[in-house]
Amino acid sequence: MTIDRIIETIKKNHPEAEVGIIKAAYNFAQKAHTGQPRMTGEEYIQHPLETAYKLAQINLDLETITAGILHDVPEDTEKTLEDVEEVFGKEIANLVTGITKLGTIKYRGLERYAENLRKMFVAMAEDVRVIFIKFADRIHNLKTLYALPPVKQQRIARESLEIYAPIAGRLGMEEFKGELEDLSFPYVYPEEYEWIKEISEKKYEEQKRFTEQVSKIVNKDLKENSNVQLIKTEGRAKRYYSLYQKTMRKEMNIDKVYDIVALRIIVKTLEDCYTTLGHIHKLWVPVKGRVKDYISQPKPNGYQTLHTTVFGPDGRITEFQIRTKEMHEEAELGIAAHWAYKDDKEDFKIPTQKLKWIKDLLEEQKKVTSPKSYLKTLKLDFFKNRIFVSTPKGDVIDLPEGATPVDFAYHIHTDVGNKCMGAKVNDKKITLTTALKNGDIVEILIDKKRKGPSEEWLRFAQTHLAKNKIKSYFRKQKKINIFKLFNN
């Protein structure tokens, strides 16, 4: 990697960009890292350059790219954070400071590991760009993981799979999430990786040819029978780790996975999205229950796309995703799309609602008594696959996969949870043990005379929030009963 290639990437999108700061950062880092080799044998400067190149590829602002070049300077050279601030200013120095804190996240026992993770979320809450740099840094480290001892390979890959990839997912950064997962997969689950790679190769090729055939039919129909302004139609191959997870849910049978290659249609306007959906449904019969409108009801991380699955040519099940160019950028880059390069920093629109979960997580950490339970909370409540359900008024609630009406009720309010006596999903009564599904509209039925929850709920509640509220109620009841006993 060269600094010229990074500048070329920036200039490709923004010919007017003042890249003097990028050149200055390179000269500063090159001098600071002189004589330092990496475990691969290459010069150390290659790592910060690769990190910065990844950030430039997703069109981030110059400050973030500059911090990417400088991110290892204070930790690995004689230059200090004060030196960085003196030359490059406070904003870039703060980003480098955040990265320096994240650099210490290594497994050194549960207590220190939990504390270091907490520091990471504090840094993200202060400036979310810190985690973009960390993702780019981690992706290059995973690409060169072969040079490290097996124990380190396993630790870094597992941490990437269990911590960093889910964070990228929560931020809507699907491109980074997929890359982190696929680079970690062969180290964490080597046998499963080889298996999925082997069984999917023929399927990929066969389904790619099929989607090309379907694409021609759709393009022809839209061109001849509509005013849709089509930008492009492309086949989106499912990534290896994502395919492995889905195969696991399908009893290890890849023949039951219908979206190995899905068709993505990118159009110019919102109206074009719905018109395209209508034309696809005229061409082929939709599969019942598989039409999802994430445009009118976006996911909390900002994802907007129309999904539909149809019985395509020869009755073959075929999946489509329909979105505009702006929706596509948001889907691939998530919150990072809001930090794209702009001439005027005042143009930045930081969607604070999309970062609310970070503050929720920091609040939750204050309530957790042990590092072990904190890590368990992270993996179950915050990093597990998410579902998006809504109240009858249309408020979207973000819950972990497998969540029940009880989890939903306590997410709304403690009193709603305590007085819950049943639930309706999509206007149909269900049991409290029923697992909610993506897109469900949930109504909690209240019994105002009910005094509190049932201990039985602890058996099927999924979130720590719900379990803690239920346990808290019974702890209070126990204290009340003891008090009554001693006062009788």
Q: Which candidate, 274, 262, 203, 273, places its Cα nearest to that of 234?
A: 262
CA 139 – CA 92 distance, rounded (Å)? 21
CA 164 – CA 160 distance, rounded (Å)? 5
Q: Which candidate, 267, 276, 270, 266, places its Cα nearest to that of 310?
A: 276
Q: Which residues are catalytic?
A: 75-76
**Please, what is the Cα angle at 72 between 66 and 74, to 5 degrees?**
100
CA 57 – CA 8 distance, rounded (Å)? 10
Phi/psi of residue 261, nearest 5 degrees: -125, 115
Structure tokens belonging to residue 16:
């007017």
CA 267 – CA 48 distance, rounded (Å)? 36
Structure tokens belonging to residue 223:
């061109």
Give the DSSP letter string of 281-293: HHHSEEPTT--EE
Which residues, in sequence order, are CB contacts of 377 under 8 Å at separation 6+?
364, 365, 368, 464
Structure tokens belonging to residue 248:
């696991």
CA 434 – CA 439 distance, rounded (Å)? 15
Residue for token pair 């220190």: 112
CA 69 – CA 65 distance, rounded (Å)? 7
Looking at residue 144, what DSSP letter applies?
T
CA 292 – CA 284 distance, rounded (Å)? 16
Structure tokens belonging to residue 6:
């990074």
